[in-house]
Amino acid sequence: MTHAPAADHLVLFMPSGKRGRFPKGTAVLDAARELGVYVESVCGGRATCGRCQIVVQEGKFAKHGIESGPSHISPKGPKEERYERVRGLAADRRLSCSATIEGDLVIDVPQDTIINAQVVRKDADTRVIERDPAVRMCYVDVEEPDMEKPLGDLDRLIVALERDWSLTGLTVDPWLLPRVQSILRKGEWKVTAAVYRDRDDAEPRLIALYPGLKNEAYGIACDIGSTTIAMHLSSLLSGRTLASSGTSNPQIRFGEDLMSRVSYVMMNPDGREAMTRAVREAINGLIGKVCEQGEIDRHDILDSVFVGNPIMHHLFLGIDPTELGGAPFALALSGAVCLPSSDIGLDLNPGARTYMLPCIAGHVGADAAAVALSEGPHRQDEMMLIVDVGTNAEIVLGNRSRCVAASSPTGPAFEGAEISCGQRAAPGAIERVRIDPETLDPRYRVIGIEQWSDEPGFAEASEKLGVSGVCGSGIIEVVAEMYLAGIISEDGVIDGSLAQRTPRIIAEGRTFSYVLKEAAPRLTITQNDIRAIQLAKAALYAGIKLLMDKLGIAEVDRIAFAGAFGSFIDPKYAMVLGLIPDCDLDKVKAVGNAAGAGARMALLNRNHRREIEDTVRRIEKIETALEPKFQEHFVSAMALPNKLDAFPKLASVVKLPERSADRPERDVEGGEGPRRRGGRRGRR
């Protein structure tokens, strides 16, 4: 604020809601800065970059006591008019560096300021993330060298950055030292500095320098899954996602699941190095792909955020994951990591930085942290359960006041492995199943075929495509439907007596199977398949129960299913099987690649980094293997949906079979205990 005695005007910024009084004539950008409202600006108020656009809201805002309108802001001056003429400016937009406050205002800061608009691609994740990136682009005019004041070129640049951008204590990436001189001359002493500042209390760092006005900077957010690597390319200045893509993790050739990769490292002297190289190469390739899609130069990428489970996290950083293969499952490092991308072999701008979210525990990685950041149980009052189902299920439960986390060794059954007719979710896989409780005949839907199996046109389509197996969601549904149809008991035993009613129940040795599809290839659900699902879901549920015990709660308000599996599963059937506790069905939702969304949040707003670091520090970690009650919960959870826990909300929507409440526990056949750590654990 100036010290002018002019009448102050009330200015409210949306969506942040921050407000303050400013003297007439204050530049809107200065007002925003003073209130801590993030408005991008590269050119430093010269009305050339166009990043600082705002919209004046018109009308009476009774709630705020403000009457706002175009007459309360200064008319366009010559600089802004020149920008409009040369670069174009939407009718309702103003440049906040040039427009000054002339009355009370409600100002909207659009989060999507599109400059030099390239094609905006569709993005699964359309959420708008408020921006405050770690990289700022700062245009400055540097004094020319002068024999009388023999300060070096770089030193004069630093002086200019301190003067115009209040960057005190700036340090400089060594790679720039030999380059500063020629860049300054190329830009005729006008340059744009890329300044990295992950934390406000750390020294700002000059990481890149461009001649003239550089009005773009990009970042990538990447989720390194053991099977798939997914990446988003975003503009750090507008927040837009320019491209999203994925590739398979080439480490698969060293081992399908996580444990086999750890074994590979233990058995092969160069194993760790080979896997680190493989994943970094794949990531560099994927960077090329998103840059091609987004039509940008990879050297304009200045920041990057990576997440992954602990083993992916370690291998990516070049750390031996062997310790994660056995108790006490010690992470080499659990805190957030911030380093130059070149140190881990990423081919980006030489000054680019990489941030990795913290890991929560030895089995609950930076990916789970990213999911928590994305879904934000710590930001809400409702008690939220987040389940990321994979070979290890990662579970976070909590709300604003307290969060707990654990992982449960579910094994790969939910992904179709260990199931006789199981397969990955791919064309030809049965993904939906309904069973008629009267006839016990099924109908199903197949990935790649529009119709259900009992609808016209299915036969032709299936002949053409082939129906090859049952994927994860299909298995969940068929087992749940078998239970609802009375084919299996609450203990998961296929009722052999039904063989009298339908030829679909067939004897196989001492147990029975259900024929889901007769025509070759014949697909049957065996007693062993049911057992595999029971073991997996009991492990998951027992982990959830431990967390609920820890918080002393009997029910959850909201459930988020993260990951690909969660996107395809029908919450109703998951609940019928007792994978998850009772909950309003409309409060159970799939959140897709929430890990990727969380990574993007950390990319675009460094406050989200502090938020998740703080949250992870506060999350209480439960090691399921150490909890005496795990076994007990596991045994109860072997039943469908559960031997002890009621599902009243589910029962109000789905007619559940009556419980044979007094059936003794020993009747649970083949009662293996839960999986142990260090045994088979696999991809997620």
Q: How many residues does the chain have?
A: 684
Q: Is 623 in the site for a copy of itself (CB under 8 A)?
A: yes
**CA–CA separation, 661 and 648 (whole Å):** 16
User: What separation in angstroms does the CA of 56 have from each of 25, 69, 80, 132?
Assistant: 16, 6, 16, 22
CB of 205 to a copy of itself, least distance (A): 12
Q: Is 188 in the site for a copy of itself (CB under 8 A)?
A: no
Q: Is 175 in the site for a copy of itself (CB under 8 A)?
A: yes
Please check whether residue 9 is in contact with residue 73, taking contact to mean a CB–CB distance below 8 angstroms. no
Comparing CB distances to a copy of itself, the nearer of 144 and 672 is: 144
Cite the beta strand spans of 413-464 per DSSP E.
429-435, 442-446
CB of 368 to a copy of itself, least distance (A): 12
Please check whether residue 416 is in contact with residue 423, taking contact to mean a CB–CB distance below 8 angstroms. yes
Comparing CB distances to a copy of itself, the nearer of 103 and 145 is: 145
Number of residues that bind a copy of itself (CB under 8 A): 50
Among 236, 344, 476, 591, binds a copy of itself (CB under 8 A): 344
Element (H, E) at 243: strand 241-248
CB of 672 to a copy of itself, least distance (A): 23
Q: Is 614 in the site for a copy of itself (CB under 8 A)?
A: no
Among 359, 404, 538, 640, binds a copy of itself (CB under 8 A): 359
Q: Is 679 in the site for a copy of itself (CB under 8 A)?
A: no
Residue 50: both structure tokens together: 């166009």
Strand partners for 233 = 220, 243
- DSSP states of 458-504: HHHHHHHH---EE-HHHHHHHHHHHHHTTSB-TT--B-GGGGGT-TT
CB of 679 to a copy of itself, least distance (A): 16
DSSP-derived letter for residue 327 is T
- The residue written with tokens 């009457």 in the block is 67
Residue 203: both structure tokens together: 């020294």
Q: Is 439 in the site for a copy of itself (CB under 8 A)?
A: no
Comparing CB distances to a copy of itself, the nearer of 344 and 417 is: 344
CB of 256 to a copy of itself, least distance (A): 25
Instruction: State whether residue 223 is helix, strand or coil.
Output: strand
Within 13 Å and on the Cβ side, how many CA atoms surround 28? 35
The crossing angle, in degrees rounded to 10, of helices 310-317 and 271-294 is 90
CB of 336 to a copy of itself, least distance (A): 10
**CA–CA separation, 420 and 325 (whole Å):** 28
Q: Is 625 in the site for a copy of itself (CB under 8 A)?
A: yes
Among 626, 644, 651, 653, binds a copy of itself (CB under 8 A): 626
Please check whether residue 354 is in contact with residue 340, taking contact to mean a CB–CB distance below 8 angstroms. yes
Q: Single out the residue of 367, 272, 415 nearest to residue 263, CA to CA.
A: 272
Binding-residue pattern over the window 315 to 334 for a copy of itself, x denoting contact by CB under 8 A = --xxxx--x---xxxxxxxx
CB of 315 to a copy of itself, least distance (A): 10
Comparing CB distances to a copy of itself, the nearer of 28 and 158 is: 158
Comparing CB distances to a copy of itself, the nearer of 199 and 424 is: 199
CB of 116 to a copy of itself, least distance (A): 32
Residue 306: both structure tokens together: 């990576």
Q: Is 182 in the site for a copy of itself (CB under 8 A)?
A: yes
CB of 335 to a copy of itself, least distance (A): 5
**CA–CA separation, 480 and 269 (whole Å):** 46
Q: Is 174 in the site for a copy of itself (CB under 8 A)?
A: yes
Q: Is 264 in the site for a copy of itself (CB under 8 A)?
A: no
Comparing CB distances to a copy of itself, the nearer of 130 and 320 is: 320
Task: Sort strands 429-435 and 442-446 into parallel, antiparallel or unpaired.
Answer: antiparallel
Report the site for a copy of itself in 144-173 (rule: CB under 8 A).
145-155, 158, 171
Comparing CB distances to a copy of itself, the nearer of 327 and 426 is: 327
DSSP-derived letter for residue 16 is T
Q: Is 658 in the site for a copy of itself (CB under 8 A)?
A: no
Contacts with a copy of itself by CB under 8 A lie at 145-155, 158, 171, 174-175, 177-178, 180-182, 202-203, 317-320, 323, 327-335, 337-340, 343-344, 359-362, 621, 623, 625-626
